[in-house]
Structure 1
Amino acid sequence: MATGIPDEARQRHGELSQELDDANYRYYVLDQPTISDADYDRLMRQILELESEHPELITPDSPTQKVGSPITTEFDTVEHLERMQSLDNAFSTDELSAWVARAEKEVGTLASFLCELKIDGLAVNLTYEQGRLVRGATRGDGRTGEDITNNIRTIEAIPTQLKGEDIPDVLEVRGEVYLPVEAFEKLNESLVDAGKAPFANPRNGAAGSLRQKDPRVTAKRPLNMIVHGFGTWTGGTQPESQSHAYEVMRSFGLPVSDRYTVVDGLEEVRHYIEHYGENRHEPAYEIDGVVVKVDQLTLQRRLGSTSRWPRWAIAWKYPPQEVNTRLLDIRVGVGRTGRVTPYGVMEPIKVAGSTVAYATLHNADEVRRKGVKIGDMVVLRKAGDVIPEIVGPVADLRDGSEREFAMPTHCPECDTELRAQKEGDVDIRCPNARNCPAQLRERLYFVAGRGAFDIEALGYVAATALTQPLEPDDPPVKNEGDLFHLDIDELKKIKSVVREQRTGLPKIDPKTGEEKVVTFFATKAGEPKKTVDKLFEELEKAKRQPLWRVLVGLSIRHVGPTAAQALAREFRSMDRIIEASEEELTAVEDVGPTIAAAVKDWFEVDWHREIVEKWRAAGVRMEDEGSEGPRPLEGVSVVITGSLESHSRDSATAAVQALGGKVSSAVSKKTGFVVFGDSPGSKYDKAVKLGVPLLDDAGFAVLLEKGPDAATEVAITSEE
């Protein structure tokens, strides 16, 4: 027994070892993980820290000294010609810099790095002899894997015979088999329809599909593969670098990624990491990081490996997007357009940098498709690092206490019977748009949002107070038209229940256990709070907002900022939009028949037009300045990126639109100009690649004052 180690440290090491061994077995053998990658990484870092403090704890059986997990007996076992290893991880720029420093201490300055995406799939090893595929195997414990050759042969992207010349006598190809995200969703839907448990995530779907005993099942699933390395390479063209090896393997017909790149220096590595950090959902497959490798093979050989991973490569791990948590309940919320949306109430958990307790489930069909039940342990992720989304259940952890969700038949806030707006709609809605407290509250909060009037002093609590005061008083805002006719004396009287944003549920006062009630606009002495003065100041500013923001604030279905800007740019006044025929509206770029029909339908409702007239009477702008004047930027598309010195993003957008131009969010060959400031990001890079003219602050001023021809003369081109 090791001596000099505190009992507490030894006990914790044993607990961590058991947890990690169990996690490895479930991940590599059963293909049914019950903890997330983030939790696994957290446990591994804890045991590494313990072993760093007490090296005597390191034994051959420690999870830190092993790769993968022992293989099962479901498939024949095969031994890899060269060991398959895992990768060390970096979670910060300091850790990445430390890895580079360690490598350069051994071999001197590193000239280049190869960066590639870390695909969240199943690692496999393919062996080719004289160009013919003779074996496909899982990674297993790194030395011995399972023979899945028959299943590998069903994957269309994997050639059974290499093509070209100078093919190696023996070649081991390492890569990742994955299930595209779209295919994963369709697969899960078919499993639920068949009464089977869905896969928790695409990685599980790929692993479960690849390890079917019947290859015919695997063949029906659209698996794919991307090559990310090699083992034994005997004979044929001998590569000089990792990137050279990739290009040679590509020439053999192997599926090599088109997203890898070779860069010079750590700064360019960071740019690559930042780009895919911002665009994690751009590839068709799930990624959880970036792999950085020393490109030169001679340096790789000099750096060598530890018992677990090569010293010449490291995996940068993005903040976890996926975690596991308990689904405590499924409830419904009513949105500003009456749409009734189920959402999950979960044990609060931190994901992608913030604590999440709620996640959308979209509609009843989505709940059924995902196969989730109340009480499930579920996989939660942030789609685009922003919106919490339930991916699916961890079905292996069910104990029978879980229950199905039933969609309500009546609105939870006004008790109106719910129905689809038209036949075939998957969403159901509360048709009581005029009087449903939930819809009015959500619409008023939306009116104040940055995409509409941008009223800073009107947040969710204030919107609730204005639309749902405690009885017997009526709310001061009975519809959006009342917003610009508020009275200070009326505001001082309001007492309101505080509600949770996103769900609309009343907040509970922890001291009393009852619903939390506030007098939002007045002090205890009955005097107006300072926020009231701010609110009235902001309302006056809001009256001067451009026409497109007024249109967005009306909450017309399908009319967001893009369509509203297009309508304002074309018609220039509210009256002209109201008078326009459906055909005239449809003809506007970025509008089309669906939006045009929604606009006509909205203005045909009497109380909708009353809102417009109340706003008009209060002094809200109903036409853009210069509606009869020249429009020198007519037909010109502008993209704005980075921080400008002369304008905020909103004021720059308004300036372009006031002159008839269109502001777009994406760069394409049709873009007229890209206006850039500090930290412009990937849009600047794309503009350079496509040869789109670039304007700095001074160039943007020329565009606004003198028009596109003059701006073209001062624009920065990619050649410069």
Structure 2
Amino acid sequence: MSQALDRINALRAQLHQHNHNYYVLDAPSIPDAEYDRLFRELQQLELEHPDAVTNDSPTQRVGGAALKTFSQVQHEVPMLSLGNAFAEQDLHDFVRRVREGLGDLLPAGDLFGGGAEVAFTCEPKLDGLAVSLLYEEGVLTRGATRGDGSTGEDITINVRTIRNVPLKLQGSDWPPVLEVRGEVYISHAGFAALNQRALAEGSKVFANPRNAAAGSLRQLDSKITASRPLEFCAYGFGRVEGGELADSQYHILQQFKRWGIPISPELRQVSGAEALLAYYQDIGARRAALSYDIDGVVFKVDDLAWQAQLGFRAREPRWAIAHKFPAQEEITTLLDVEFQVGRTGAVTPVARLAPVQVAGVTVSNATLHNMDEVARLGLMIGDTVVIRRAGDVIPQVVSVVLERRPDDAQAVTIACQCPVCGSAVERTQLIKRGKGKDSVSEGAVYRCVGRLACQAQLIQAIIHFVSRRAMDIDGLGDKIVEQLVNEGLLRSPADLYALQYERIVGLEGFADLSTRNLLAAIAQSRQVSLARFIYALGIPDVGEETAKLLARALGSLARISQALPEVLTYLPDVGLEVAHEIHSFFADSHNQHVISALLEQGVVLEESSELHAEFSACATLASVLEKLNINHIASTGAQRLAQRFGSLSALLAADWLDLRSIERFTEKAAQSLREFLANPANVARAQAIEAQLLEFGMHWQSPKQALTGLPLAGQTWVLTGTLEIMSREQAKAKLEDLGAKVAGSVSAKTHCVVAGPGAGSKLTKAQQLGVAVLDEAAFMQRLQALTG
């Protein structure tokens, strides 16, 4: 047995090395026939000694038993999307923003230069499916799709079948826990062979390599995945514990290559905007000759410390951008323009086209965005138009071929009445809020004013209301919602809670059990968190995270619904435009009626009713003055006014001499303030803001509340390793519910570390610092004790 085991280990080492030479170095060292001979020998030995088979053996790529479904994976480090550049100016703007964001960190250069250039990594943007590979102690333990960026699907059994994904890393200097991120794709040659085989078998052919790759990875039967010519290319990393990675994007990818992880052969390190454009143009010129599909190139700031300085906005990093290539285009005929009504009442023109193949996909519809776009294009029904799949995904009308316009071409006009409900269609108005005054202009969007009386808006509003991240009513799919609306059983979300068994059981598709299950699911949703309820209402520009913030910070529906826009802007990431949307939504009488009806139907909100201690006494007089948007008074001027007068009432009573006596306060600023205060409406607004800050407990004179009241308030916890009973995201949520802050690193201020299997450097540091450490079993006992 020992001789056989030695031979098995030797064969595995040889095959791992040959895979590395072939897939990573592109320099095969033996003929395919010799590789196959070694592979068959290993297979035979493992057949004779099944106890010696390991997960990282090269033979374990053929797939296993079919799954019933994929389990969910929470990404500890979110898999974010990238911002896009489509024009040269977009790229110059990106580089300018990077330089501004780095500020003093960027070397100044010499007396004759404009400052040192920023170094970037450049690589093609593969057109495939983003995945995450987790290696623990050098062995592949998990593969996951990107999903929505926070939650993906566990596709470990499928990624193990991809030939160039190392089941075990080369070398020994890799971190104990390393999450590699990259793209799974199919080459042109592999795609052609795949479709040729499909034709020979009489099965359906794939439309394009990307769809083939995505479909292959999501097969429940991994043997099917194993039969597909999938390839992997790494472009970054996520979770890392223990060990050390290089301090630059480029050198980290070189480390990956050394460890056997395939990276792009087109990877380059360059400096400055002109070099980025040169790389983009070079790859663009060679795009057709590449062996795989790309839809652009990706540029990333190379220095990791600079990446950290630049940070993120919304769901994309400020230090990276995808510079897209012009999409493939085709010519077709515009048969008609129809209008669709969305959840918010926006009436959107949609082009109906003579079907045409664009980038491997049949296109018969295309977005026209709004009527301003129709006017810009000069579009008429009957025109010959150029179609582009923007970003190679969304079909768009690019231009009109005027020389082919027929004599009977018809103008595109938007009806005065909604095509669904007949209510008036009005053009929206844009309010630009600036110093001193608001300017009003016509918006690009037309909106049906019928609201929930409009069936299209009602259907979409209820679909959103019952969705998983909102009220989470199981069994209410899109078709059932549409059916209930069409039957006249739902005229607002509140009607869901008045549905009766007798009215549903006779409908098509419903029987006794399905009706009872639906009513039970609706009843179960009556008790809901404030955050979910706010999100379910469908307030424009208020997504799930903003809803959570509003609920956590303000604590009650009453406080959220009364909050003035200026008060809402004290919450992080709530800008003035979003604040006005929130305020306008709750000020609307129709929305007030729907909310009241929901509460009357027994919807019970789980709310703290208290302002979060973090926001107690958070406002200052200077900040209020700054939010009033007075001409010529910015942050510094507001600070001087606050220091001089100390209270809003004292400022409102000030005369001209008082204002002129303020040191370094300009006459122009003083004059603007006098003009502002001369308007009674401005004074009333300032007083209303202060009164609400006092009422909410956010006023500078309000008592500052300590972060207490919850059992873990004021404590910092750290999660490390793999948790088996619950996901790390669930553990984090439970700790935060108990008042703890969950940090990503261990320090002397850390109260406790929860360490699951595979815990690395964080556990070591906790032990060195004498920080309390709990395994998952002890952690679960602690949670049970705290929550009863």
TM (normalized to structure 1)?
A: 0.44
More helix by share: 2
TM (normalized to structure 2)?
A: 0.41
